[in-house]
């Protein structure tokens, strides 16, 4: 079983620094990082490594600012990165040259340079990632890959660059707030953009020049400084079922000598709108299927669906020229930890984007320390900055009740954050969804801290503790996802264990299942080391009742 190296300055037995872990890590192993900021520039060559944030630890940042190198550079390596913030100042935040790089749930920011650069045959996959700063957002140069469900915003020049024959697939991705072009394709670039949004660009939404052939399907391009799409001389490609709004004219400019295939775009009418609406509806259906696939939470699922139904009808009324009343998209999630609140909040934001209710799919998770300052006036400044970063998407505030005055003594500026939030939630209710989460009793007290706070939220959703059968199913899913299987009878033993454990105020729900599986994996490692032979593939995959007993001390 591949080893996991824990990096933490506060956990017993952990490696104290990221540099220490990089010195001893072997191919195929994982480095798990505790919450905090790591001033480092990670360079990996000809190896296979996973970098991940420790579950529920909080924000993990690898910061190469001032070091003159990327926060992460992978050369001919197979690298997986999950849940990290990667930041640089003098060049790319992340660079992949050859090899395979997978990023999920990461946030990237660069100064001069691109937030993410893929080059020299690299294969890069990014899912649910956010680019918040950079000269460029993402650059593909003689590379391939897939960008799915990502957001690129507020970059100095171009949002996405595809060049030197690169052919990435970019789906369900938003490019917004660029200083120059949204997407720039040149030197024989062959990207595919499907169900993407390009908005608030300084110049053209998408430009293709120098023998490029982009495929652009079911995309929404609006509020651009130039035309929606420019196809340059000698270029081709396909543009179909796209929607344009508030662009320069013509919406699609085709230069002499260009030969793209264009359908249902030049004169956007009912057909183009219907195709775009159908694509958006398919995306909504897919997201609702993901919601339904979550274990338990029947009441929450029903309430989310009711909200989505109402928003869908409002969108239809708006399209029909009928009046639509003001609707708040802010929500309260109550319940114990580990009940799926963050996952549902993320899906909710993606649903709002798919319905056109919010401009993009930004998801920003914060806690008290991200909002509260240390002197008068500092908190309002910090809170406003956080809200600005989340604009267009969802701001998720976990353990929001810790902001209330009662959570601390002395010079506590939490109330200042609450008061500022109340104002900003109203000022930006059409561009922002705020979700506050925490224990049920504490959240009730939190709402009493400002007379206007409770009225800002559309609904409170209660996340109940998982039942023993649901925790057993969660455990089985976690095991399958990590290439493990349970021996016969272990499922019943897990049920009995979950039925018998204390469900006090510190009960962690799904976190308990993850902790238990980790304990069982460690127990399995000890058991296999004592076999006196090399374990078979089946041995390595199978977790046993003995592993459960060892993990629980039974």
Query: How high is the pLDDT of residue 266?
Result: 42
450, 493: one domain: no
453, 535: one domain: no
CATH number of the domain to which 546 belongs: 1.10.8.60
CATH number of the domain to which 459 belongs: 3.40.50.300
93, 111: one domain: yes
453, 500: one domain: no
Is 195 part of a structural domain of the chain? no
Give the total number of structural domains in the chain: 3
Residue that is last in its domain, among 463, 486, 508: 463
132, 71: one domain: yes
Q: Interhelix angle for 490-500 vs 510-529, to 10°?
A: 130
Query: How high is the pLDDT of residue 274?
Result: 54
pLDDT beyond 70 at 163: yes
């340059």: which residue's tokens? 232
Query: How high is the pLDDT of residue 553?
Result: 79
34, 138: one domain: yes
453, 476: one domain: no
Query: How high is the pLDDT of residue 277?
Result: 60
Q: Which domain holds residue 504?
A: 468-552
Query: How high is the pLDDT of residue 318?
Result: 67
Residue that is last in its domain, among 429, 448, 463: 463
Q: Are 110 and 134 in contact (CB under 8 A)?
A: yes
Token pair of 216, please? 């652009």
CATH number of the domain to which 136 belongs: 2.160.20.10
Q: What is the mean pLDDT of residues 322-338?
A: 78
Is 134 part of a structural domain of the chain? yes
356, 439: one domain: yes
475, 521: one domain: yes
Query: How high is the pLDDT of residue 72?
Result: 96
Q: Are 287 and 354 in contact (CB under 8 A)?
A: yes
438, 517: one domain: no
Query: How high is the pLDDT of residue 139?
Result: 97
Token pair of 197, please? 């949004």
Rounded percentage of the chain residues whose pLDDT exceeds 70? 92
Is 276 part of a structural domain of the chain? no
Name the least confident of 67-76, 77-86, 234-243, 502-511. Answer: 502-511
Query: How high is the pLDDT of residue 114?
Result: 94
Query: How high is the pLDDT of residue 271?
Result: 45
Is 270 part of a structural domain of the chain? no
**Global model pTM greater than 0.95:** no
Q: Are 230 and 237 in contact (CB under 8 A)?
A: no
Nearest CA-CA partner of 56 in 461, 300, 365, 346? 365
427, 481: one domain: no
Query: How high is the pLDDT of residue 270?
Result: 43
Q: How far apart are CA 379 and CA 443, in angstroms?
A: 21
Handedness of CA 133, 134, 135, 136 (dihedral sign): negative
Residue that is last in its domain, among 156, 186, 205: 156
pLDDT beyond 90 at 142: yes
Name the least confident of 87-96, 212-221, 440-449. Answer: 440-449
pLDDT in tens, 364-391: 888 888 888 776 667 778 888 888 888 8
Q: How far apart are CA 63 and CA 93, in angstroms?
A: 9
Is 112 part of a structural domain of the chain? yes
Is 171 part of a structural domain of the chain? no
The band of 242, judged by pLDDT with boundaries at 50, 70 and 90, is very high
The band of 268, judged by pLDDT with boundaries at 50, 70 and 90, is very low
pLDDT beyond 90 at 159: yes
- φ/ψ of 416, rounded to 5, equals -60, -40
pLDDT beyond 60 at 411: no
Is 210 part of a structural domain of the chain? no
Q: How far apart are CA 321 and CA 341, in angstroms?
A: 36
pLDDT beyond 60 at 409: no
Residues whose CB falls within 8 Å of the CB of residue 399, separated by 6 or more in sequence, listed in order:
367, 368, 437, 438
Is 240 part of a structural domain of the chain? no
456, 311: one domain: yes
């Amino acid at each position: 079983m591949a080893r996991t190296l824990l990096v933490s300055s506060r956990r017993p037995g952990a490696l104290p620094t990221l540099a220490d872990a990089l010195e001893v890590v072997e191919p195929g192993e994982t480095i798990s990082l505790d919450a905090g900021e790591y001033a480092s520039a990670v360079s990996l060559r000809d190896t296979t490594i996973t970098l991940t944030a420790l579950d529920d630890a909080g924000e993990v940042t690898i910061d190469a600012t001032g070091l003159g190198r990327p926060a992460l550079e992978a050369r001919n390596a197979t690298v997986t990165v999950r849940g990290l913030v990667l930041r640089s100042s003098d060049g790319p935040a992340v660079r992949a040259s050859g090899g395979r790089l997978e990023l999920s749930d990461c946030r990237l920011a660069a100064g001069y340079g691109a937030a993410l650069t893929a080059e020299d045959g690299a294969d890069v996959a990014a899912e649910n990632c956010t680019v918040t700063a950079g000269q460029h957002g993402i650059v593909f140069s003689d590379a391939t890959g897939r960008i799915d469900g990502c957001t690129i915003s507020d970059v100095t020049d171009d949002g996405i660059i595809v060049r030197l024959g690169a052919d990435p697939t970019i789906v369900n991705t938003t490019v917004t707030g660029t200083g120059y072009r949204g997407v720039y394709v040149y030197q024989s670039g062959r990207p595919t953009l499907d169900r993407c949004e390009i908005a608030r660009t300084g110049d053209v939404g998408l430009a293709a020049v120098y023998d490029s052939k982009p495929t652009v399907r079911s995309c929404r391009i609006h509020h651009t400084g130039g035309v929606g799409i420019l196809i340059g001389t000698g270029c081709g490609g396909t543009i179909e079922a796209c929607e344009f709004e508030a662009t320069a004219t013509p919406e699609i400019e085709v230069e002499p000598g260009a030969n793209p295939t264009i359908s249902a775009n030049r004169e956007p009418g009912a057909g183009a709108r219907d195709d775009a609406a159908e694509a958006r509806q398919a995306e909504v259906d897919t997201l609702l299927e993901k919601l339904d696939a979550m274990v338990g939470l029947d009441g929450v699922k029903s309430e989310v669906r009711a909200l989505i139904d109402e928003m869908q009808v409002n969108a239809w009324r708006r399209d029909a020229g009928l009046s639509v009343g003001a609707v708040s998209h802010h929500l309260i999630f109550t319940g114990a930890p580990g009940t799926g609140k963050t996952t549902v909040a993320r899906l909710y934001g993606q649903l709002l984007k798919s319905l056109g209710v919010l401009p993009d799919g930004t998801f920003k998770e914060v806690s008290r320390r991200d909002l509260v300052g240390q002197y008068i006036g500092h908190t309002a400044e910090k809170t406003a900055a956080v809200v600005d970063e989340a604009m267009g998407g969802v701001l998720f505030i976990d353990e929001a009740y810790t902001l209330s005055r009662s959570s601390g003594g002395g010079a506590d500026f939490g109330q200042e954050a609450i008061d500022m939030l109340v104002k900003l939630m109203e000022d930006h209710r059409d561009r922002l969804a705020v979700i506050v989460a925490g224990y049920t009793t504490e959240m009730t007290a939190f709402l009493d801290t400002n007379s206007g706070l409770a009225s800002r939220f559309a609904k409170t959703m209660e996340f109940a503790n998982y039942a023993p059968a649901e925790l057993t199913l969660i455990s089985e899913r976690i095991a399958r996802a990590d290439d493990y299987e349970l021996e016969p009878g272990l499922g019943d033993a897990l049920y009995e264990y979950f039925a018998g454990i204390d469900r006090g105020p510190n009960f962690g729900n799904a976190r308990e299942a993850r902790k238990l599986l980790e304990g069982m994996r460690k127990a399995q490692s000890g058991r296999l080391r004592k076999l006196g032979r090399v374990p078979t593939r089946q041995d390595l995959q199978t977790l046993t009742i003995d592993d459960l007993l060892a993990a629980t001390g039974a």
